[in-house]
Homo-oligomer: A and B are copies of this chain.
């Protein structure tokens, strides 16, 4: 089982140094610290290395309000990062490769999100070779400085050496983010030896170059310049994050945490995820949120949801359907999330909102069917109403609760649903849902703040169906059974094609186009067959290719 819990005391692969507004994150991978039976040479990484990086990104945001610029560099002489470990890739199942790529992509998107929205700009100080995933890590930073030592290069050698694509957005970021001309990008991505400083600068692959003697000075100056533009507070403390999943007890049946429970029904291939609303008073200002920290419902719940998604993705691949439900007092949810609007500009409130945004995006790109059930006792309000809008189908119980202890099912949109938690296409889930139907969208916005009955929710088109109480159990079960009878691959493709309408962004291009092509290539004998490039790499024998184009 893959666990995601880590903290600075247990990092094996990274060091973080703090110096006022500038933190420095140094990659120094322990070659013997891999999750599997391979050696992580030359700052190459596997999932375990990236789990630590994710932890670093998160803690910098929440625990260090004073950090306004983050320098990412290689902690090994002449080596920034050699990318994903090839032995690891060659020895992994298809499913692990795909999940690994998705997680690493999400971490890199999170780095971009910190630069863009948190006032914490990431700068790549490329102190030596940055190959493949190594250069892609640099590409996720807002600024890339490459050492000009006549030896160090940036490169994307995946196509010529491994017969696969750069898997963490390298191609897309080179042309779409950095505006490198597509023919130069083609030359670059087929040149195994890469590009040295001057040419890299000329082609737009990096933002600055500096000789070894002046490298640290240039990096520091640029970091300080970015730091000066930040709106993060100069003083005050952050909130300590627990290890991811610390509050969860994982078992064969699912997991139990404070606000998130998961129960797995293996016959149905489904996991029921219950998100529980808050109990007890919640912070009403950013400063109270700092004091409450992860005791606050808003922060603990998103963290538990994040963990549950990752656990199910990696450790329960045969559970194809995630049933999203909620339990609790709707007014308590409304009250707890009100801070996202009322103190929106507070740095920690913003972080909290951005964490919800990223976690809901994780849901969007999870290759699982998402079914939301709006049942008696539910509290789908605001942030939790996003679970309705994120679903492939949302069904609402229409009738009287059978137990007097349960209230009628609750669905209530709030201002949070009106653009505070955008999808990776840049639109709110409401806007995405009503793409090209502005009147229906406006009508839904008009219902903000109102508790919707099943028929009102159906009229407003925010649910798929209202089901009569008499039919509820049978129809839900039938739908889940039917879903479980379909090909998981076809469902993955179907869902990926329906979830993101309208405009495309770097992120949607990476998850849709790049990831789909890479999934395809990861199936092809030219890459993964016994004579394919992934297996022949490093053996001295050349791969055998079927030359047919498709």
Known: A175-B435, A482-B190, A517-B493. A367 touches B550 (CB 8 A): yes
Check A87 for interface membership: any CB of B closer than 8 A: no
**C-alpha gap A523/B528 in the complex (Å):** 13
Centre residue among A432, A492, A503 by max chain B CB count within 10 A: A492
Q: Are the C-beta atoms of B486 and A183 separated by less than 8 Å? A: no
**C-alpha gap A287/B191 in the complex (Å):** 51
List the B side residues contacting A434 at CB < 8 Å. Answer: 181
Check A185 for interface membership: any CB of B closer than 8 A: yes
Check A487 for interface membership: any CB of B closer than 8 A: yes
Q: Are the C-beta atoms of B498 and A171 separated by less than 8 Å? A: yes
CB distance from A535 to the nearest CB of B (A): 13
Q: Are the C-beta atoms of A545 and B487 separated by less than 8 Å? A: yes
Binds B, one of A233-241, A333-341, A391-399: A391-399
For A163, give the chain B residue with the smallest CB separation: B487
- Bitwise, A493-508 to B at CB < 8 A (1) or not (0) is 1111111011110000
Check A269 for interface membership: any CB of B closer than 8 A: yes
CB distance from A318 to the nearest CB of B (A): 4
Q: Are the C-beta atoms of B549 and A498 separated by less than 8 Å? A: no
Q: Are the C-beta atoms of B99 and A550 separated by less than 8 Å? A: yes
Chain A residues 142 to 181 lying within 8 A of chain B, measured CB to CB, are 158-160, 162-165, 171-172, 174-176, 179, 181
For A185, give the chain B residue with the smallest CB separation: B498
Chain A residues 501 to 549 lying within 8 A of chain B, measured CB to CB, are 501-504, 509, 512-514, 516-521, 523-524, 526-527, 532-533, 543, 545-549
For A178, give the chain B residue with the smallest CB separation: B436
Known: A164-B490, A490-B158, A490-B526. A519 touches B550 (CB 8 A): yes
List the B side residues contacting A516 at CB < 8 Å. Answer: 512-513, 516-517, 519-520
**C-alpha gap A527/B486 in the complex (Å):** 11
Copies in the complex: 2
Check A196 for interface membership: any CB of B closer than 8 A: no
Q: Are the C-beta atoms of B517 and A496 separated by less than 8 Å? A: yes
**C-alpha gap A175/B518 in the complex (Å):** 25
Centre residue among A181, A183, A514, A527 by max chain B CB count within 10 A: A183
**C-alpha gap A482/B186 in the complex (Å):** 13
- Bitwise, A292-332 to B at CB < 8 A (1) or not (0) is 00000000000000000000000001111000000000000
From B393, B436, B549, contact of A187 by CB (8 A): B393
**C-alpha gap A548/B392 in the complex (Å):** 19
Check A182 for interface membership: any CB of B closer than 8 A: yes
**C-alpha gap A45/B319 in the complex (Å):** 37
**C-alpha gap A521/B486 in the complex (Å):** 13
- Bitwise, A387-409 to B at CB < 8 A (1) or not (0) is 00001111000000000000000
Known: A99-B550, A393-B183, A432-B182. A159 touches B491 (CB 8 A): yes
List the B side residues contacting A350 at CB < 8 Å. Answer: none
**C-alpha gap A3/B440 in the complex (Å):** 49
Chain A residues 404 to 425 lying within 8 A of chain B, measured CB to CB, are none
Check A94 for interface membership: any CB of B closer than 8 A: yes
Given contacts A497-B514, A516-B519, 18 further A-B contacts (CB under 8 A): A159-B491, A165-B490, A172-B497, A174-B498, A175-B498, A181-B461, A182-B501, A183-B391, A368-B549, A489-B521, A489-B524, A490-B527, A492-B549, A493-B520, A512-B516, A513-B513, A519-B520, A520-B523
A positions within 8 Å CB-CB of B: 94-95, 98-99, 158-160, 162-165, 171-172, 174-176, 179, 181-187, 189-190, 269, 317-320, 367-368, 391-394, 432-437, 461, 464, 482-483, 486-499, 501-504, 509, 512-514, 516-521, 523-524, 526-527, 532-533, 543, 545-550
| Cross-chain pairs A/B with CB under 8 angstroms, 19 sampled | A158-B490, A171-B498, A179-B436, A182-B498, A183-B391, A183-B392, A187-B464, A190-B494, A318-B547, A488-B549, A488-B550, A493-B520, A496-B513, A504-B509, A513-B513, A519-B520, A519-B550, A520-B520, A523-B524
Which 7 A-B pairs give the minimum distances between C-beta atoms?
A163-B487, A516-B516, A179-B436, A504-B504, A493-B517, A523-B523, A520-B520
